[in-house]
Structure 1
Amino acid sequence: MDWSSTRLKASQSFVRALKKRRDMLPALYEGETLYSLLTATQRLRADSRAEVTCATLFGSPVAGLRHDFPSHLDEFSRRTRGVFGTPEVLAMQHSVLPYFTAFRNQDVVDRAIIAMAGNTVNRLKFILGLPASPAGANYPLSFCKTCTDVDINRDGRAHWHRIHQLPASYLCPIHHELLLTSEVRLNGLGRSQLFLPGDQDLNVRATALELTPDALPILRRFSALSAATLTKSLPGGFNEASLQACYRFGLTQLGLLTPAGFIRANDFVSAVTAHFRPISSLSPFHRVVSTSCSSSLLRLIRKPRNGIPTLTHLVLIEFLFGDWERFVSAYRWESQLSLSFNCTDLLTSRDDELPPTDFASALNRIADGYRTNQGSLRALCTAEGVDINTAMRWIGRLGLADISRRPRVVTNTVRRLVVSLLEAGHPLRDVCAQTSLSKSTVDRILNDNSTLRATWKASALERRRKIERDRLDDFLALNPEATMPVVRATTGIGYSWLLRHDRLWLRSRVRKSVRTGMAEHKRVPRVDWSGRDAQCLAALQIVAESLELSANEILKAPAILRRLPKLPFKPRLERLPESRKYIESLLDDLRDLRAAN
């Protein structure tokens, strides 16, 4: 047998197989990141450098090396002939972008997809506000060991799941075990390399070494919430007003809203701090739920803004609702309340679109009875046990019925009465009570004329000043010997208001307290500098009789002062003129003597 020809044929066959293999691409599994696909492609092609594989797929040596937001997706889709999907599909299904845009407007999502499809994503993290977010802008690689074993047994290789790459995800949402994390890509060397879960070069560590049993359920719910943002969008899209109403509904269920609709801020902060105490020291939760930061969650409810980090939203959702399904149910209900429905369409489909709550059913029965003239609106609301004002508001917003309202006519006589009361400085509630007008009507009259508003403010201030002064005078008439501390400690006499708005009158009217029992200040005698000068001079004259300085000593005053005996004071030559002159003469003699030698 000709072994040389056999070896040559085998070598040629291997080369042909290798070339054929270099044209192959691994499968892109559901939830796998493009960074994982790029790594698997490098292993399949046996490329020595990651930049070579990345340039082959993305047309750029670094576009696919970003494990969070890769760029050049348009070029990647073209080079792979659309097998893995369009740039939008790749960005929304194989990157972590949906997590960061879950609570952002659609224009932000479109800008992010355009950036990832283009040639650079340098500004993308700033568009999403990541540098200022609690979790920052750089995230390590994370994986679940059980998921990795399952992937190897099922698919033949490990791959990175995007549900493990989310901020504040400490547990795998599938197997509920601690994720293993590697920060190798956060340094300059690792950013140009490709890794797969299980590689020895990753130097993995657990996301949290020590967790209390109370922290695990909270972290498990956070992982589930974070994973839900990748695949489950908000019904009807993001709407700030609907989200605020949804959060307020959650506060109502927890008893954190007053009957008037105000937030019990102190109770809310205390409840949030107590609920998240097991994880308040973990990063990045310490920047959201710690005692000093939890009050910032109130801004999400009081004044929702576009651009709040997703992590902050998820903290509030976990506290108010516990899981994504309950939150979405409440959000869907509030979103439909804010829409302008057609009456006919609502009657045929409202049972499918609105949650089957007793309140919704009662509103439908009231609206049906009002349209068919089964009774007055007040009688129908009374029968259903619903407040008439609440029913009118929701029926109008839902478009269930056209309720005619009889606006109150403000006659000239009533208007003149309102203006006179306002010019006299009466509070708005008193004006409403005397004229039977609503506060909004009185406020509209007040703001129709800027001069009237300025007059009302000045008159109200003087009116309040007179009331508080009279109240304090009455108190002092009954307590003529009252001092300032007594007045300050007595509540209900307007001391705080007078202190802010009429301080000079208050000080002149109330006698200041007399301090008693304090020891008289002892008078300290003045320093006898001339006596000290004479005492120091006498000591210098004694020292001068046997003064000897070594050749290496510097001829300055300290050299002589340190040879003085211990004095009852520290010699301060600037205050001892005779002693200073004597020392200077000694130093001159010593300099002459040293020069002569």
Structure 2
Amino acid sequence: MSAASGQEWVAGPFPRLDWLPDETLFSLCSRQHLVMGNLNPATTSTAVLGLRQQFIKHDIPCGIAALERTGFEYWGSAESILLNHTIFPLFVPFQNKVKIEDAIRTVKSDRIDSIKYRLGLVSSGFGAEHPLKACPYCMLEDVHAHGIAYWHLTHQYPGVQICPRHQAWLMASTKSRRWSGRFEWSLPTEEFLIEQASSQKLWSRPVFLALADNVIDLASIGRTTSFEPWAVAAAYRTAVLQGARSASLLDRTEPLRRFHLFESLPANKKSSESFVNQLVRTPRRSIHPLKHLILIDWLFDDLHSFLEAYKAEMARSAQHVASTPSPAPDKRVSLSSSGAPAKNAPRPKRLKGQLKEDLLSKLAKGISKQVLCEEFQITVSTINKLLRAHPATYALALKARHRREIDEHRRQWQHLHGLYPELGVQALRNTMPPLYAWLYRNDKAWLIAEEQTFAKPAHVNKHPVDWEARDYRLLSMLRTACESIALPQRGPVTMAQLYAMIPMLSTCLENRDRYHESRAYLSTVMGRSKPKDLLDHGEGINGSERTVAKR
């Protein structure tokens, strides 16, 4: 018996399924669940990923390194699956390399932890929930070509609301949602697919199609490389200074703001300026790639033009580095070096007169022993003997050596900061702990002063939220939805139906201190259609909130 599911299953061999074109890992696991004939999703989850049912993730998975242990290694390596069959590559290009490596380790492990928060999804304004989406025309083609409809990767990226192939609006699944089938394997079927918004017919098809193309192209870039954040910000600044754009950022984003996913985009001139200021500075925090793509669409019209500007910034930086002479390596010999001379090694010379004075003078200035040995054609033993005879010069030499070491460590820290200007002190320290530790022990005052020069996070003006207006809008949507449901079926309205018609309802109800009018209306509607005990334990407001957990 499986500890995770309590259902008996055979430990293999399992029916072998291969990837279909543009298929996601969740889709392949769902097809595997279907052919294995398991009744419990946890049984398949345990057999394939070695994880409990609660770790079934349809967007950014976890535990994929276990495929090699569970007999599904023929699907590919963990890295290959992550980059070619999940939405993860979309979040790679604008992240620094340290965070990407950490995220990959997390996804390969058996715990997803706070990866969505670390990638900047939770605080992005776009939300961290990525509902499954499908194109009805692709479904028909898939059934005809492969005998089954499945989830296409290009449809699942956040920001893709239209099928690039058929230019048809994608439909959203009511499965794998917070309020329905959250930890289940599922495939696209007409029964569980709905329009993404009631206002979908008013959307601008060319705007969403252009965004979808840019999102898919960005994900392709993320499979092979990532951008240098400082060069991205420099390309933005150059484009902003050049000006000469046909429309303002507000005009460019207005068609997108009709969809609830993009409601956080700038709605006035002041918030528009804050949006731009956040991106033209080298970021200290993770920023959602959709924000970058929206700014790129305004500044460059398409992703290709941005790539040309980015390459120009990188070439300009490389040219500047090449024209700057680098200091010659310091081949130091330790002042404390002593020990038995090698066989047939020259014996120490006895220094006299001007030669001795010149050597003592240069030693006091901190010139390395190796350089002096080559200049005066003497051995290290000769220098050590001379220093022992002149303790005052030896003390000056030690002081000069310490000064030289401090300068060298300072240069290394500044060079490291130049490579990763977007990182804060803690993150930069983690890239090279010994360097930070040495400076902290030997040059703490300078280190603290240097930290003050680090770029501060871009200031984003947070405008007060008009909760009353939001409550009124949600209330209006609820009334419309209840009327459209109740009239045709002439029966009670369920919360599942409301969630399906108003995707944002689940998120709104998480905030227990807001939306008072909407909550009162829901209590009235649900109270008429269902007993009080069902409201508290199933489809009512309180019940739905209790079952919502942060992903």
TM range (shorter): 0.5 to 0.7
Distance 1:293 1:174, change over 3 A: farther
- Whether the 8 Å CA contact 2:136–2:170 is kept in 1: the answer is yes
Is residue 171 from structure 1 mapped to residue 162 from structure 2 by the alignment? yes
State the one-letter code of the partner of 1:333: A
- Whether the 8 Å CA contact 2:84–2:223 is kept in 1: the answer is no
- Whether the 8 Å CA contact 2:30–2:187 is kept in 1: the answer is yes
Aligned pairs (5 A) from 1:325-336: 325-336=304-315
Percent of residue pairs bearing the same amino acid type: 23
Larger Rg: 1
- Residues of 2 paired with 1:189 and 1:235: CA distance? 35
Is residue 126 from structure 1 mapped to residue 126 from structure 2 by the alignment? no
Q: Which deviates more, 159-168 or 42-51?
A: 159-168
Secondary structure, aligned partner of 1:284: helix
Aligned pairs (5 A) from 1:72-221: 72-80=63-71, 82-198=73-189, 200=191, 202=192, 204-211=193-200, 215-221=204-210
- Residues of 1 paired with 2:101 and 2:35: CA distance? 34
- Residues of 2 paired with 1:99 and 1:343: CA distance? 33
Shift of 1:136: 0.9
Task: Specify the alignment match of 1:29 in structure 2.
Answer: 20
Task: Specify the alignment match of 2:273 in structure 1.
Answer: 295
- Residues of 2 paired with 1:174 and 1:61: CA distance? 36
Is residue 228 from structure 1 mapped to residue 217 from structure 2 by the alignment? yes
Shift of 1:343: 7.4
- Whether the 8 Å CA contact 2:231–2:313 is kept in 1: the answer is yes
Secondary structure, aligned partner of 1:338: helix
Secondary structure, aligned partner of 1:231: helix
Note the alpha carbon deviations across 1:331-370, whole angstroms, 9 max, x for none.
12222222248979xxxxxxxxxxxxxxxxxxxxxxxxxx
- Whether the 8 Å CA contact 2:92–2:222 is kept in 1: the answer is no
The one of 228, 231, 235 aligned to 1:239: 228
- Whether the 8 Å CA contact 1:171–1:178 is kept in 2: the answer is yes
- Residues of 2 paired with 1:236 and 1:26: CA distance? 30
Shift of 1:22: 6.3
The one of 257, 261, 278 aligned to 2:255: 278
Shift of 1:63: 6.7
Distance 1:274 1:228, change over 3 A: same
- Whether the 8 Å CA contact 1:50–1:194 is kept in 2: the answer is yes
With normalisation by structure 1, the TM-score equals 0.49
- Residues of 2 paired with 1:276 and 1:129: CA distance? 21
Shift of 1:80: 3.2
Which blocks of at least 5 consecutive residues in structure 1 are unaligned? 1-17, 257-267, 345-597
Shift of 1:255: 2.3
Note the alpha carbon deviations across 1:548-593, whole angstroms, 9 max, x for none.
xxxxxxxxxxxxxxxxxxxxxxxxxxxxxxxxxxxxxxxxxxxxxx
Shift of 1:205: 1.5
With normalisation by structure 2, the TM-score equals 0.52
- Whether the 8 Å CA contact 1:317–1:323 is kept in 2: the answer is yes
- Whether the 8 Å CA contact 2:135–2:171 is kept in 1: the answer is yes
Distance 1:50 1:213, change over 3 A: closer
- Residues of 1 paired with 2:172 and 2:203: CA distance? 22
Report which structure shows greater RCO (CA 8 Å, sep ≥6).
Answer: 2
- Residues of 1 paired with 2:318 and 2:64: CA distance? 36
- Whether the 8 Å CA contact 2:237–2:280 is kept in 1: the answer is no
Distance 1:77 1:254, change over 3 A: farther
Aligned pairs (5 A) from 1:553-568: none
Shift of 1:207: 2.0
Task: Specify the alignment match of 1:255 in structure 2.
Answer: 244
State the one-letter code of the partner of 2:288: P
Which blocks of at least 5 consecutive residues in structure 2 are unaligned? 1-8, 324-551
Secondary structure, aligned partner of 1:181: strand
- Whether the 8 Å CA contact 1:129–1:309 is kept in 2: the answer is yes
Shift of 1:36: 0.5
Shift of 1:30: 4.1
Distance 1:337 1:80, change over 3 A: farther
State the one-letter code of the partner of 1:334: E
State the one-letter code of the partner of 1:24: P
